[in-house]
Amino acid sequence: NLSKFRQRGPFEWELPASGRMRVPGVIFASQALVEAMDDKVGEQIANVASLPGIVEAAYAMPDAHWGYGFPIGGVAAFDAGEGGVVSAGGVGFDISCGVRSLHTGLKLADVEALKPRLADVLYRRIPAGLGSTGALRLSAREMDAMLLGGARWAVEAGFGDEADLARIEESGRMAGADPAAVSEQAKKRQRDEMGTLGSGNHYLEVQVVDELFDIRAARAYGLSEGDVLATIHCGSRGMGHQIGTDYLRAMVIAAARAGIALPDRELACAPLDSELGRRYLGAMRAAINCALANRQILTRLTRQAFAELFPGIRLPLLYDVSHNTCKEEWHVLGGQRRRLFVHRKGATRAFAAGHAELPAEYRQVGQPVLIGGSMGTASWVLAGAAGTGEHAFASACHGAGRAMSRHEALRRWQGRSVVDELAARGILIRSPSLRGVAEEAPLAYKDVGAVVEAAERAGLAVRVARLRPLVCIKG
97 binds ligand 5GP (CB under 6 A): yes
- Rounded to whole angstroms, how far apart are CA atoms 207 and 133? 26
Q: Does 320 bind Mn ion (CB under 5 A)?
A: no
Q: Quick one: which of 197, 226, 194, 209 has its CA closest to 430?
A: 197
Interface characters, 265-294, with ligand 5GP (x: CB under 6 A) = ------------------------------
Which phi-psi region, left, alpha or beta, contains residue 269 (left: φ > 0; alpha: ψ -120 to 50)?
Answer: beta
Span of 173-181, 187-195, 272-280, 397-405 interacting with ligand 5GP by CB under 6 A: 397-405
Decide: is 72 part of the binding site for ligand 5GP (CB under 6 A): yes
Distance CA 202, CA 191 (A): 20
Per CB under 5 A, which region of 12-20, 96-104, 332-340, 432-440 contacts Mn ion?
A: 96-104
Confirm or reject binding of residue 97 to Mn ion (CB under 5 A): yes
235 lines the binding site for Mn ion (CB under 5 A): yes
The site partner of 169 among Mn ion, ligand 5GP, none (C-beta below 5 to 8 Å per kind) is none
Region from 186-194, 199-207, 333-341, 348-356 binding ligand 5GP, contact rule CB under 6 A: 199-207
Q: If you count DSSP H runs as helices and E runs as strands, how many of each does the chain have, helices first?
A: 14, 19
Residue 180 amino acid letter: A
Cβ pair 144, 179 in contact under 8 A: yes
By CB under 6 A, name the one of 367, 445, 459, 460 that touches ligand 5GP: 445
Outline where 383-459 has alpha helix (H).
406-412, 415-424, 434-439, 448-457
- Tell which residue, 471, 473, 465, 344, has the closest CA to residue 396: 344
Among 69, 372, 432, 436, binds ligand 5GP (CB under 6 A): 372
Is residue 141 helix, strand or coil?
helix
Backbone conformation region of residue 329, classed left if phi is above 0, alpha if psi is from -120 to 50, else beta: beta
Measuring CA to CA, how many Å separate 329 from each of 50, 170, 351?
21, 12, 11
* CB closer to Mn ion, 62 vs 235: 235
Tell me which of ligand 5GP, Mn ion, none is bound by residue 472, counting a contact when its beta carbon lies within the kind-specific cut-off of 5 to 8 angstroms.
ligand 5GP
Active-site choice (65, 233, 323, 398): 398
Report the C-alpha dihedral over residues 46, 41, 130, 289, rounded to 10 degrees. Answer: -50
Question: Using CB under 6 A as the criterion, what x/- string covers residues 316-345 for binding ligand 5GP?
Answer: -------x----------------------
When asked if residue 381 is in the footprint of ligand 5GP (CB under 6 A), the reply is no
398 is an active site residue: yes
Angle, CA 167 vertex, CA 468 and CA 346 arms, to 5°: 60
| Binding-site size, Mn ion (CB under 5 A) | 3
Residues in contact with ligand 5GP by the rule CB under 6 A: 63, 72, 97, 201, 203, 205, 323, 346, 372-375, 379, 398-401, 440, 445, 469, 472, 474
Catalogue the active-site residues: 398
Residues in contact with Mn ion by the rule CB under 5 A: 94, 97, 235
